Amino acid sequence: MTADTQIPRATAQRLPIYYYYLSSLHEAGIKRINSTEISEAIKFDAATVRRDFSYFGALGKRGFGYDVSALLDFFSKVLSQDKLNKVAVVGTGNLGQALMKYNFVHSSNIQIVMGFDVDPKKKELKIDNEKGETIPVYSIGDLKSELNKENVTIAILTVPGKSAQEVTDQLVDAGIKGILNFSPIRITVPNSVRVQNVDLTTGMQTLIYFVDNFENIKSAK
C-alpha cells in the first residue's frame, strides 16, 4: 500500500497536480493518456512525469501509455482520497472565516470541522459552510481538548504573524501533525510535524519580481 521507495520532495509536490489532471480526464471520459500529453497539460517535462510515476512502480504500458482509471485509482490511494481528513482553522479572522465558509481548500477528503480564536467573542460566531453545516468556533484555550475529541491532526494557521509561533507551539503540544501555514512567519516545529507554507503576499511579490526582472532570472525559459 505504501510506497517502498523514498519519494523525492519535488515529486511529492507534484502528486496533487497529477491527481487533479487525471480526475479531469476521467470526468471527460478519456480512457488512456501518455506522458507527452500529461506533460503538455501540467507543464513539466515528459521525462519528469515518467520518472515520477516510476517511483511508484511500473504504472504504464509501453506502446500504449497509461490507463486513466487505473492511474487515478492508484493516486487516489497514494493521496489518501479514501480517508476523511478532519481539519481545524486556527485564527478566525477574515481569511480563516473565508476558508471555513467557502471551503476554498476543497476536496472530498478534506473537511473543516472546527475553528479556534483567541478572541472569546468569536465563540458566538456561527459560521455556516456551503453545505449549510455550522462549524463551531472554540476558544484557543480549548485547543487540545477539542482537537483530541474529534481526532483532528491537521490545522490551517491563519493567525497574525505576531502570534503565529506561540499558537504553533500550542498546536504541537495538542498533537497536531501537519500545519498549512498562511502566516507570513516561518514557524518552528519539531521534526515530527510537517509544515506547508502558503503565503499569498509572498506569491504576489515573487510574481511582480519575475515580471519586472524577466531577463535577470535564470532559466525563465
Residues from 63 through 82 that contact DNA (CB under 7 A): 63-66
We find the least distance from the C-beta atom of residue 74 to a second copy, in angstroms, to be 14
Taking the C-alpha atoms of residue 7 and residue 11, their distance in angstroms, rounded to an integer, is 7
Touching DNA, residues 123-142 (CB under 7 A): none
Residue 96 is labelled as binding a ligand: yes
How far apart (Å, rounded) are the C-alpha atoms in residues 126 and 152?
A: 20
Q: Which residues, including other chains, have CB under 8 Å from residue 192's CB and lie 6 or more apart?
A: 177
Residue closer to DNA by CB (options 11, 165) is: 11
The entry of a second copy, DNA, none near residue 62 (CB within 5 to 8 angstroms by kind) is DNA
Smallest gap from Cβ 171 to a second copy, in A, equals 13
CB nearer to a second copy: pick between 61 and 104: 104
Contact indicator for 63, 34 with CB cutoff of 8 Å: no
Interacting residue ranges for DNA, rule: CB under 7 A:
8-11, 33-36, 44-48, 50-51, 53-54, 58-66, 218-219
